[in-house]
Structure 1
Amino acid sequence: MTTKLVIGLDGQGSGDRALTYAKDLAERIGECELLVAYVIEWSPYSFQTAEENAQRHKRREEEISTAMERVVDPAVAALKSAGMTASGIVRHGDVADTLNSICEKEGGHQIIVCRSSEGGFAKRLFGSSTANLVMSASVPVTVIG
């Protein structure tokens, strides 16, 4: 049976620590697949004009493309060059809910995130998102310092 680890990245240096931990854990496990995930925090509860709604989809697609190119693809390439089986995904949404949803949908066995960084995902995650993820995740969550 292949173990699947979901790694939540933030686009900052702390993501490297989460990747390093996940890579080391995957080597210990043996048959393992790594899924690099980046969540663009987004709330469906904002009020917008009709013009803003018309542009919203285009902006979301651009954000996903940029995050894949700048954050996820380089991480996946590094893991693959180290001999790992890896893929990547970018989604919009609440960080904790979206990471858990990705893990459930993709058959993940564990979520790995980092708690501290220069800002971005981990800064948001260290607050209520970390607590929400740890308390509500359907799989174990490892929070790297």
Structure 2
Amino acid sequence: MTVKIVIGLDGTETGDRAIAFAKDQATRLDACELLCAYVIEWSPFTFQTPEENATRHKRREEEIATATDRVVDPAVNALKEAGFNASGVVRHGDVAETLNKIAVDSGAVQIVVARASGHGFTNRVFGSSTQNLVMHADVPVTVVK
């Protein structure tokens, strides 16, 4: 049976730390797939003009393509070159909710994210998206420093 681990990427060096941890975990398992996930924060509740709504879909598709090219594909390619079974996905939505949904829908057993730096004590400890993910995820979440 292949074990799947979701790696939450954010396009910064914190994603590199999450990848490093997940790689270490994967080497300890017989069969493991690493799923690199990038979530573009997007609220469906934003009120917009009809003109803005007309361009919204196109903008979403452009953002997905950019995130795939700049963040997810390089991570997946590096993992594959290192001998890991890896794939990637980019979605729009609330970061915590969407990472959890990706994990549940893909049958992942764990989500790995890195602690984000931020302002204030809570954000320094976890980061707001990470904190929400830890509190509400349906699978175990590992937060690396």
Matches within 5 A, 1:56-75: 56-75=56-75
Q: Which amino acid aligns with 1:37?
A: A
TM-score by length of 1: 0.92
Partner of 1:137: 137
Matches within 5 A, 1:70-81: 70-81=70-81
RMSD: 1.7
The C-alpha deviation readout for 1:83-112, integer Å capped at 9, x for no partner, is: 100000000000000000000111111000
Q: Which amino acid aligns with 1:71?
A: V
Q: Does the CA-based 8 Å contact 1:12-1:118 persist in structure 2?
A: no
Q: What is the distance in 1 between the residues matched to 2:107 and 2:43? A: 25
Q: What is the distance in 2 between the residues matched to 1:133 and 1:63? A: 23
Q: Does the CA-based 8 Å contact 2:113-2:130 persist in structure 1?
A: no
Q: What is the distance in 1 between the residues matched to 2:117 and 2:6? A: 19
Q: What is the distance in 2 between the residues matched to 1:92 and 1:9? A: 13
Q: What is the distance in 2 between the residues matched to 1:41 and 1:141? A: 19
Partner of 2:5: 5
The C-alpha deviation readout for 1:44-86, integer Å capped at 9, x for no partner, is: 1111000000000000000000000000000000000011000
> Structure 1 regions of 5+ residues with no counterpart?
none
Instruction: Say if 2:44 is the partner of 1:44.
Output: yes
Deviation at 1:117, TM superposition (A): 4.8
Instruction: Say if 2:97 is the partner of 1:97.
Output: yes
Q: Percent identity?
A: 67
Q: Does the CA-based 8 Å contact 2:116-2:127 persist in structure 1?
A: no
Partner of 1:115: 115
TM-score by length of 2: 0.92
Q: Classify the secondary structure of the residue corresponding to 2:87.
A: strand
Partner of 1:25: 25
Q: What is the distance in 1 between the residues matched to 2:78 and 2:117? A: 20
